[in-house]
């Protein structure tokens, strides 16, 4: 679900899921929005292996992992701040040949894997979304988190985790322009809707 989202209300809040099964290939994508200049998006630890995605500064997103050859980090630097309370898309991939990280439409950063050495990512702990491990957690909203083709149900997990809010506020600031012909954008628990009552139109976006 496009709107499957959770709000992370404080830096010590996180959601946990079963261990990420990404031994030989990992394909992770999600959207985030925040006003803070740092925070861990997700993290999964092993004995020594790990995989982590984080906002390192207002203009840097980092993808780091270790498959047993020592830690590797890929960083995308943005010319404009990413903590502007707008949605930003992150895509991270790792396979036995290379790893890559892309943020929005900024140039993709690619790192080739070493020709020899370990290739399997061996993880044991739970997957933590929004922090964990005593680090600075993420403060803001994450939605549409997909890992190896599976959408994680952030909304459902947020509902059963204390101190959490499922869904995100502020959809209208990002998508309000989708309401056409003078339709009014209304915040909804799972996104937004358009109120067409003061227009001569109807339909989802007041354009019919």
Average pLDDT for 156-177: 78
Q: How far apart are CA 187 and CA 17, in angstroms?
A: 28
Q: Is 94 helix (H, G, I), strand (E, B) or coil?
A: strand
Q: So what CATH class is 5-166?
A: mainly beta
Average pLDDT for 164-191: 76
- Cβ distance 155 to 8 under 8 Å? no
Taking alpha carbons only, the member of 115, 147, 120 closest to residue 19 is 147
Mean confidence (pLDDT) of the chain: 90
Query: Can you give the residue ranges of every domain in the chain?
Result: 5-166, 169-207
pLDDT bucket at 9, cuts 50 / 70 / 90: confident
pLDDT bucket at 133, cuts 50 / 70 / 90: low
Residue 134: predicted pLDDT: 62
Predicted confidence (pLDDT) per residue in 40-80, tens digit: 999 999 989 999 999 999 999 999 999 999 999 999 999 99
Taking alpha carbons only, the member of 79, 2, 76, 80 closest to residue 41 is 76
Q: How far is CA 18 from CA 123, 134, 153, in A?
A: 11, 19, 12
| 169-207 CATH fold | Laminin (2.10.25)
Residue with tokens 């031994």: 23
Residue with tokens 């964990």: 132
Mean pLDDT is lowest, of 79-88, 127-136, 169-178, for 169-178
User: Residue 190 pLDDT > 90, yes or no?
Assistant: no
Q: Which two tokens stand for residue 187?
A: 């915040």
Q: Which two tokens stand for residue 66?
A: 């270790």
């Amino acid at each position: 679900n496009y709107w499957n989202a959770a709000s992370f209300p404080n830096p010590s809040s996180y959601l946990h899921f079963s261990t990420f099964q990404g031994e030989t290939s990992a394909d992770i994508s999600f959207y985030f929005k925040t006003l803070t200049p740092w925070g861990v998006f997700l993290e999964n630890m092993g004995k020594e292996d790990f995989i982590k995605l984080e906002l390192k500064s207002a203009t840097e997103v980092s993808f780091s992992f270790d498959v047993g050859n020592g830690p590797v980090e890929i960083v995308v630097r943005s010319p404009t701040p990413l903590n502007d309370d707008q949605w930003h898309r992150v895509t991270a991939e790792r396979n036995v040949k290379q790893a890559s990280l892309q943020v929005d439409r900024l140039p993709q950063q690619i790192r080739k894997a070493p020709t020899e050495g370990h290739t399997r990512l061996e993880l044991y702990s739970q997957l933590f979304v929004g922090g964990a491990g005593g680090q600075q957690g993420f403060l803001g909203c994450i939605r549409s988190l997909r890992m190896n083709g599976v959408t994680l149900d952030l909304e459902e997990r947020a509902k059963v985790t204390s101190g959490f809010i499922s869904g995100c506020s502020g959809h209208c600031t990002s998508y309000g322009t989708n309401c056409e012909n003078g339709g009014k954008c209304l915040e909804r628990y799972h996104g937004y809707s358009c109120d067409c009552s003061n227009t001569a139109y109807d339909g989802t976006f007041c354009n019919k």
